[in-house]
Structure 1
Amino acid sequence: MSDAVVIGLGAMIGAGIFAALAPAALAAGSGLLISLALAAVVAYCNATSSARLAARYPASGGTYFYGRERLGDFWGYLAGWAFVVGKTASCAAMALTVGSYVWPGQAHAVAVAAVVALTAVNYAGVQKSALLTRVIVAVVLAVLAAVVVASLTSSASSAARLGVGGDATFGGVLQAAGMLFFAFAGYARIATLGEEVRDPQRTIPRGIAIALGITLFVYTVVAISVLSVLGPQGLGQAGAPLSDAARAAGADWLVPAVRVGGAVAALGSLLALILGVSRTTLAMARDRHLPHGLAAVHPKFEVPHRAELLVGAVVAVVAAMGDVREAIGFSSFGVLAYYAIANASAWTLTPDEGRPARVIPVLGLVGCLILAFALPLSSVIGGAAVLALGAAAYGVRRAVAARTP
């Protein structure tokens, strides 16, 4: 149980909290804490649905596999496509977070350098170990704890900044929840442990609940402390929210440590994300849903090197030209679409197959769709257009295959 919880914390408590608070505060205003609760509820439903599917189908591929098995080939493909494009945007957001905390004036250049370096690390077959995960979690928690203490004990802290005022709108709260969903990304990592833990039917759901509960507690305390010194407007305009909060609290000595913590968290997340996207790309290429050449595995390093290089190149271009807020919005749209299909797949499970309580996949599916379409209009249009492009490519491929003797 403890290992499952640590893995879940390692997947969730990372760079998202360093990056997502500012765009969420800009959207929600003083309703930020309500948005955080909504994002957590949707995350719990998604993770529970994924856990039940993983217990039924202990195979790699996640919803790309579940969607094909439960809903049909197209829905599995669309889930895989949504994952690849959404997580590619997540990679760019993490890279830009590295740049924002390491060297704000040259954030794009640092972001591209980080992508190039970690693509090379992945190419050589070096993967993030369980020990490194624990070290990163420890560093991040220490930094977050220091920011919380410095902020709440500062004379600049005011409880008056925490009240829900007239600047909080229903649409803004929903939009911020979609943004904050980005900070919970990775929670379903526990759902993939079916073959690695004892009594998975009991351990996985409990591990998910405990890890999500701890993460929500940490994020809530951090959000309260940062809001108390910056206020919703100040937080919404912050380029590096936790560094700005430490500075506003008069703890300038803490700023370098916060920058290091933010960079470490973002680099750890970026390494894992590039790895995950390239492996999903490999699986889709093997099934010929993507160009088959991307399925090539390096004879020495035993990694999907063409997929690694393609993902790294795309992320580097996006990081060089994009904005972290836009990347978070686009990423959230793609990942919410991915989990919407996971919830729809979980709905089709029978009681004998370990179906969750009916309300969970329903709430998860509806929540994913509402949060996805509550995101900024540019994220919705861009995300919908990319999904439509993927669907069109699928249709063309099927039509060509049908005509081929």
Structure 2
Amino acid sequence: MSSTPSPAAGLPAELQRRLGVPDAVMIGLGSMIGAGIFASLAPAARAAGSGLLLGLALAAVVAYCNATSSARLAALYPASGGTYVYGRERLGEFWGYLAGWAFVVGKTASCAAMALTVGTYVWPGQAHAVAVAAVVALTAVNYAGVQKSALLTRIIVAVVLAVLAVVVVVVTSLSSGAVDAARLDIGTDATAGGVLQAAGLLFFAFAGYARIATLGEEIRDPARTIPRAIPTALGITLVVYTLVAVSVLLVLGPGGLAAADAPLTEAARAAGADWLVPVVRVGAAVAALGSLLALILGVSRTTLAMARDHHLPHALAAVHPRFEVPHRAELLVGAVVAIAAATTDVRGAIGFSSFGVLAYYAIANASAWTLTPAEGRPDRAIPVVGLTGCLVLAFALPLPSVVIGAAVLLIGAAAYATRRVTTHRQ
């Protein structure tokens, strides 16, 4: 099987390898430690009650399997496109296409959700306008070159980690007299369905490590860098999420967390640290900007890979001669996200995105199953658990998300079949 994508005739085909392990880890952290931790805790608590931490653990297990499968595949196929490339090379053209379709459509919705999160925190009364402005600004940053994107991501991650650290320390210390460890009361009122749904919702906050793989063509020594960067970024994220979830649960309890619109803000108020509220708001806005930056970066690279193979208009495979980025793909993605941010709502965008992301990773795990020992195959249990976990969590999501997500995948499959028939007739 071929390990590199076909070059685009008449167009620059190669991106420059400029990113090392620290930059790759930061891009992964910027994708994961974003608005998800500020937004996903409350709905997860509503689904699982005191089983929230069980849901977090389950989401982390599935994410670890996905990350391991993705890392092994990315080391073997260090090209832009991520699971689009892996599915095509290991399972066949259709499965690669379906993964790319799920990623591009699902993550475009996620981009809109992140942009709207920025707008909600910065200027609630003009959330849609601020969201569109954020998309335009970050598309311009990505257009100017991936190194600038990595630098900005490093700054954003530092700010967000600092804010979350302050929240954990201040909330737990100021409320020490009122904190009751029994509030964790893990699993006593949880149901299996609730825990699974919580895991699916919390998985949304983890689903950023693949951004490292989608930038495989721009990473130095990918066979060494990618397998190191992905688990490192995932491990740091899990530690951060666990600390935040435990501190908020200790202060608010499962019921209070489930009822909170802005959990970290409510936790700060409950601890008597009103001065921390604006800091949390700024942190949430910066986190969402970090996620949006990395999401636009990843979607444009998958669009580039699909355009190279003519699954999308071939003109989108162009690489800018000066900035060395897929500039047409980035401009198109930015335009579509801006329109979505101006016309949709956060809740609908997140539900739709989650189903698409889990479908994408299911194909990644199926692809990893086909690896041989010589190709760096992971332990057989890892892709099996990852694939099973992705499918279970996807169908445990709220019914509207499942129905809409499945319908969109079917539309993509129909478009693929139509294209194949048309090409065959020609």
Shift of residue 127, structure 1, vs aligned partner: 5.6
Measured after TM superposition, the shift of residue 188 of structure 1 is 3.4
Deviation at 1:16, TM superposition (A): 2.1
The corresponding residue for 1:53 is 73
Q: Which residue of 2 aligns with 1:266?
A: 288
Deviates further, 247-256 or 29-38 = 247-256
Partner of 2:10 in structure 1? none
8 Å CA contact retained: 1:128, 1:272: no
Give the SS at the match of 1:163.
coil
Give TM-score, length-normalised by structure 1: 0.90
For 1:61 and 1:329, locate their aligned partners in 2 and report how far apart those are by CA, in whole Å: 23
Residues 198, 303 of structure 1: alpha-carbon distance in 2 compared, 3 angstrom cutoff: closer
Q: Give the AA of the match of 2:60.
A: A
1:381 aligns with 2:403: yes
Structure 2: gaps of 5 or more residues? 1-19
| Aligned equivalent of 2:253 | 231
- Hey, what's the Cα distance between the residues in 2 that align with 1:28 and 1:166? 10
Match of residue 95 from structure 1: 115
Q: CA deviation digits over 1:217-270, x for unaligned, max 9? A: 211110111122233333334333322322222211111111111111211221
Match of 1:39 among 51, 59, 62: 59
Distance 1:189 1:322, change over 3 A: closer
Distance 1:173 1:400 in 2: 45
Answer yes or no: is the 8 Å Cα contact 1:337–1:368 preserved in 2: yes
CA distance in 1, matches of 2:395, 2:157: 32
- Whether the 8 Å contact between 1:157 and 1:249 is mirrored in structure 2 is no
Deviates more, 1:298-307 or 1:322-331: 298-307
Equivalent of residue 337 in structure 1, options 329, 336, 359: 359
Structure 2 equivalent of residue 134 of structure 1: 154
Distance change >3 Å, CA 284–CA 105, structure 1 → 2: same
> How far apart in 2 are the matches of 1:5 and 1:122?
18
Q: Please name the residue that 2:103 is paired with.
A: 83
CA distance in 2: counterparts of 1:56 and 1:126, whole angstroms: 22
Distance in 1 (CA, whole Å) between partners of 2:21 and 2:364 is 26
Q: Is the 8 A contact 2:319 2:325 kept in 1?
A: yes
CA contact (8 A) 2:211 2:295 kept: no
Of 189, 196, 199, the residue aligned with 2:220 is 196
The superposition leaves residues 97-128 of structure 1 with CA deviations (integer Å, 9 ceiling, x where unpaired) of: 21232233433332233223323443455764
Letter in 2 for 1:89: A
Please give the per-residue CA displacement for 1:63-106, whole angstroms capped at 9, x wherever unaligned. 11111111000000001001101111110121122123223343
**SS in structure 1 of the partner of residue 43 of structure 2:** helix
1:292 and 2:320 are equivalent in the alignment: no
The CA deviation string for residues 340-365 of structure 1, in whole angstroms up to 9 with x for no partner, is 11110110111111111100000000
1:154 to partner: Cα distance: 3.1
Matched, 1:370 2:392: yes
User: What fraction of aligned residue pairs are identical, expressed as a percent?
Assistant: 81
Counterparts of 1:2-401 in structure 2, within 5 Å, are 3=22, 5-6=25-26, 8-125=28-145, 128-155=148-175, 156-164=178-186, 167-191=189-213, 196-197=220-221, 200=224, 204-205=226-227, 207-296=229-318, 303-401=325-423
2:379 aligned counterpart, secondary structure: coil
Which stretch shifts more, 28-37 or 113-122?
Answer: 113-122
Deviation at 1:165, TM superposition (A): 5.5
Identify the range of structure 1 (304-313 vs 325-334) with the bigger mean alpha-carbon deviation.
304-313
More displaced 10-residue stretch of structure 1: 369-378 or 13-22: 13-22
Q: Distance in 1 between matches of 2:319 and 2:94?
A: 26
Distance 1:97 1:385, change over 3 A: same
Give distance in 2, aligned partners of 1:239 and 1:317.
26
Normalised TM-score (structure 2): 0.86
SS class of match (1:60): coil
Asked if structure 1 preserves the Cα contact closer than 8 Å seen for 2:21 and 2:226, the reply is no
Distance 1:256 1:133 in 2: 22
